[in-house]
Structure 1
């Protein structure tokens, strides 16, 4: 089965830009979105400004991707928590999230065959969140959002 997965931690806001968030944190994001930015159709127009630290490294389980993100963010936990609380008071539509995105049967993704014992490929299907990650989410008030999509051609349009 083909699996494409990645994770990111994001701070998002309707009024505070990603550049402003980076200035407060002293940490540049890997990716940003700009609220209301124009994109070529049919892509959605972002509803929020977003500051993201991302791990898209192939061959890692989700928990390994998340661990790499948290390692980068851990020294900034207090600042992230303060900023997330400040953003949350803006209008209730701002804050922090740890996002996991997984696409199964995505033909452009890496192949994973759990029944093939001859390869040393990691099992990409199972994952867990460590106490360190849960503590970080608690400290920053972040939500956990997991999106999983079946990209099989018969289901891709659903």
Structure 2
């Protein structure tokens, strides 16, 4: 089985552009979307989006999350303040840590069937990229950033 995955932290707003969000927190995004750029009727994208992403191959989800949080952590107070402001009048959070994983993707990474110990055979179905956790540092960041966690997996 092949697995392709990536992680990003996004802030979304129907008021502030990604440029304005960057100015407010002092960090340029890796990716940005402009509200209404593709279509005005219906509005697509529906909101402005500011993203810090990790799409590096060979990393586990926890490693990807850690790289994203490493970059954002020095700005967590500014991010949290901005997200609190953006959340006013919205039912959910305007910030999300997004995990996306595709199973069986042609562009994904192949399962490594080599055993770390020659005395043992590694059986298929134990893909090296499967499984992940959130440590206390990541959880504290999510709370300070007032962000939600969303995980999407596709097969």
Shorter chain as normaliser: what TM range? 0.7 to 0.9
- List structure 1 segments (4+ residues) > 6 angstroms apart after TM superposition: none
Aligned residue for 1:135, secondary structure, equals helix
Question: Quick one: distance in 2 between partners of 1:84 and 1:146?
Answer: 20
Q: Counterpart of 2:109?
A: 110
Q: CA deviation at 1:140?
A: 1.1
Number of residues of Structure 1 aligned to a counterpart in Structure 2:
143
Aligned residue for 1:132, secondary structure, equals helix
1:28-79 superposed Cα distances (whole Å, 9 cap, x missing partner): 000011111117xxxx931111100000000000010000000011100100
User: Please, which runs of 5 or more residues in structure 1 have no aligned partner?
Assistant: 151-158
Question: Quick one: distance in 1 between partners of 2:145 and 2:26?
Answer: 16
Aligned residue for 1:81, secondary structure, equals helix
Q: Counterpart of 1:139?
A: 144
Question: Quick one: distance in 1 between partners of 2:116 and 2:89?
Answer: 50
Q: Counterpart of 2:21?
A: 21
1:107-145 superposed Cα distances (whole Å, 9 cap, x missing partner): 1112124xx13479x710010011100010011110000
Cα RMSD (Å) of the superposition?
2.0
Q: Counterpart of 1:56?
A: 55
Question: Higher mean Cα deviation, 83-92 or 29-38?
Answer: 83-92
Question: Quick one: distance in 2 between partners of 1:34 and 1:22?
Answer: 13
Question: Quick one: distance in 2 between partners of 1:119 and 1:6?
Answer: 26
Q: Counterpart of 1:154?
A: none
Within a 5 Å distance, the mapping from 1:49-88 to structure 2 comes to 49-88=48-87
> TM-score, normalization: structure 1?
0.84
Cα distance change on mapping 1:93 and 1:107 into 2, 3 Å: same
| Structure number, greater radius of gyration | 2
